[in-house]
Amino acid sequence: MAEPDRPAAPEWMSDAPPARGRLTCDVEIRSAVAKDFGHVVRRMPDAALRPESAEDVAALVTFAAQRGLPVAARGRGHSTAGQAQVEGGVVIDMSTLDAIRDVGPGFVDVDAGASWRSVVEATLPHGLTPPVLTDYLGLSVGGTLSVGGIGGAAHQHGMQTDNVLELDVVTGDGALRTCSASRESSLFHAVLGGLGQCGVITRARLRLVPAPDRARCYKLFHPTVRSLTRDQRRLLADGRFPYLEGQVKAGEGGWRPMLEAVAFLSEDDLPRDSDLVGDLAHDQATLEIEDVAYLDFLDRMAPGEEYLRSTGEWFHPHPWWNAFLPDSTVDDVVEEVLSGLSVEDLGPSGVILLYPTSRRRMSTPLVRMPDEPVVFLFAILRTAPLDDPTALVAMLRSNRALYERVRAAGGTRYPVASVPFDRDDWARHFGAAWPGFVAAKDRYDPHRVLAPGQGIF
C-alpha cells in the first residue's frame, strides 16, 4: 500500500541496478528499517536493499553516488538514535549478508551482516573465540566495528576494532576494496570506528584466540562507588581476571555498586575463590558465584531479551547514554551524577554500567577516548515509557546535560548514545583526528551519500 505522502516506487527506481539481491519499496520492509532499538527517531527510506553479495552493495552504492541518493548500511538496527536510518534514499539491510565463510588458524572470515552470536557459534567448535565480545551477541559485526565494540575483555585485548585483520569495504564511490593495517591502511583506519562514513563493510577477517570451556562469574557488591572503582583499578592492574565489568544497581536503600569479574576455567586449572576475591573490599555476605558454560556466559543477555520482548519493554524508547571518563575524574563525576539521578530517571529495566579499561590496548584512531592510561565506561541505559513524548524529551535533554558534564571532566561520548549532537560537537569529539576524518570522507565518499543518520557531514 502506498503511503499518502510518498509514492510506492520513487522515479529513480526504474534506473536502479538490476540487483541480484532484492531492492524493494515494500512498505512493511521499509517500515522495519525506518526504526531502531532506540525508538527515538524514525526516518522512512524510499527503498531497502537486501543484498546477496558484496557486488549487490557495490552496484547500489555506485548508482546512489551518481544520483546523490543517501544510503545507510543497517546491521541489526540496535542503534538508539537513527544512526542507521535514512530519509528517502536506500537502507541496505546487511542482515541478509551474514555468511560465516571460513574458520582458520587464529581467524574467522565473516560477512559483515553476521551477528556476533553466529560468529561464536561457528568458532567455538574449533576451540576458538573472538577475544572481545559485546555484552549482547545480537549485534552485527559491521555494526560494532563501525563504533568500536567494547566488553569486559577489552581491558586485556582492546576494542573489537583492535582485533580486525582485514576488511572488504564498498566505498562511497561504489568501489569494492580490500584493506588492512598494511594494505590501504588509510581506508582501514577510516572505516574502523568510522560510523559508516567512508564505506560499507561487507566482509571482516577477525582475530581469534583459544576459547575456555567454562566461566566462573563473581558479583561483588560494594559499599560505595569509590570502593568499587578502587577494586576495579586493582584488578585491571594485576590482570587477575580476563573479564572485568561493573554496574550500579538500584536498591531499596539507594544505588548499589557491583563489581562483575569472570575467571575462565579449564578442568586442570580450577581457581580457589579466596585467591581471586579474598582481598577485595566487597560486602562478603552478598557475594554471588556462578559457574556456566562459556557460550552461556557470552550469551547471558538472551533470557533477559526474551523476557523484555514478552513484556513489550524491548520495544519502548531507549534513549541510552554512554560515555568514557578518565580515571582522574570518574569518581567525582559518577557520584555527582548518581546523586541527581532517581530510579524513575532510569526507567523500568534501566541499567547503569561502570567499568574500567586500559587505554594502552586501544589503538583505533577514530574510537575517541580520554587520554589517560585507565578509562572508565559509564553508561546510563534508560527506558522511557511508551507514548509519553514529554518524558522522552526530558531524558534526551538530560543526556545532553550529562554529556556536557562529562566533556568538562575530560570525557568523551561513545557514539552509540542518544545525545543531540551538531557538527561542532563532532569536530570537538574527533579532536586531533577530525581533519583526517574529513579528508577521508572527501576521498572515500566524495558525493556524501553514506550514513547520513549519524549527522556528521
Ligand X SMILES: Cc1cc2nc3c(=O)[nH]c(=O)nc-3n(C[C@H](O)[C@H](O)[C@H](O)COP(=O)(O)OP(=O)(O)OC[C@H]3O[C@@H](n4cnc5c(N)ncnc54)[C@H](O)[C@@H]3O)c2cc1C
Closest to ligand X by CB, 136 or 297: 136
**Catalytic site residue 245?**
yes
Q: Least distance from C-beta 143 to ligand X, angstroms?
A: 2
Look-up: residue for cell 565463510? 101
CB of 134 to ligand X, least distance (A): 3
Is 416 a binding residue for ligand X by CB under 6 A? The answer is: yes
- Name residues contacting ligand X, limited to 199-228 (CB under 6 A): 200-201
Rg (CA), the chain: 22
- Selecting among 36, 39, 78, 155, the annotated active-site residue is 78
The answer to whether 412 contacts ligand X (rule: CB under 6 A) is no
**One of 45, 130, 149, 174 touching ligand X (CB under 6 A):** 149
75 binding ligand X? (CB under 6 A): yes
Phi, psi of 2 (to 5 degrees): -75, 145
With respect to ligand X, which residue has the nearer C-beta, 4 or 312?
312
CB 98 → ligand X: shortest distance, Å?
11
| Interaction of residue 392 with ligand X, rule CB under 6 A | no
Among 41, 96, 18, smallest CA distance to 452 is for 41
> In the bound complex, what is the minimum distance in angstroms from residue 67's beta carbon to ligand X?
19
- Indicate which single residue of 21, 51, 131, 143 sits in contact with ligand X (rule: CB under 6 A): 143
The yes-or-no answer on residue 78 being catalytic is yes
Long-range contacts for 224-229 (Cβ within 8 Å, ≥24 apart)?
224/257, 225/255, 225/257, 225/331, 225/334, 225/335, 225/338, 225/354, 226/331, 226/335, 227/257, 227/281, 227/282, 228/257, 228/258, 228/259, 228/354, 229/330, 229/331, 229/334, 229/354, 229/356, 229/376
142 binds ligand X (CB under 6 A): yes
Rounded distance between C-alpha atoms, residue 314 and residue 416, angstroms: 17
**End-to-end Cα separation, the chain, in angstroms:** 34
- Out of 36, 162, 168, 445, the residue judged to bind ligand X by CB under 6 A: 36
Residue selected from 78, 282, 382, 413 as contacting ligand X according to rule CB under 6 A: 78
**Is 419 among the residues that bind ligand X (CB under 6 A)?**
no
Q: Is 321 in the site for ligand X (CB under 6 A)?
A: no
Exactly one of 36, 173, 245, 299 is catalytic; name it: 245
84 binds ligand X (CB under 6 A): yes
Check: CB of residue 207 under 8 Å from CB of residue 84: no
Whether the Cβ atoms of residue 225 and residue 329 lie closer than 8 Å to each other: no
Site track 89-118 with ligand X (rule: CB under 6 A), x = hit: -----x-----------------x------
By beta-carbon proximity to ligand X, the closer residue of 51 and 227 is 51
Nearer to ligand X, 140 or 383 (CB): 140
For residue 199, what are the CA distances in angstroms to 73, 174, 294, 384?
9, 9, 34, 33
188 binds ligand X (CB under 6 A): no
The CB-of-162 to ligand X minimum distance in angstroms stands at: 12
Binding residue for ligand X, selected from 123, 129, 134, 412, defined by CB under 6 A: 134
Q: Is residue 294 a contact point for ligand X (CB under 6 A)?
A: no
d(CA 402, CA 406): 6
Q: Which of 139, 228, 333, 334 binds ligand X (CB under 6 A)?
A: 139
d(CA 197, CA 451) in angstroms, rounded, equals 6
What amino acid is encoded at 148 in this protein? G
Q: Looking at 52, 87, 109, 135, which residue is catalytic?
A: 135
404 is catalytic: no
Interface residues with ligand X (CB under 6 A) are 36-37, 72-79, 83-84, 94, 112, 134-136, 139-140, 142-144, 146-151, 195-196, 200-201, 416, 451, 454
Known catalytic residues are 78, 135, 245
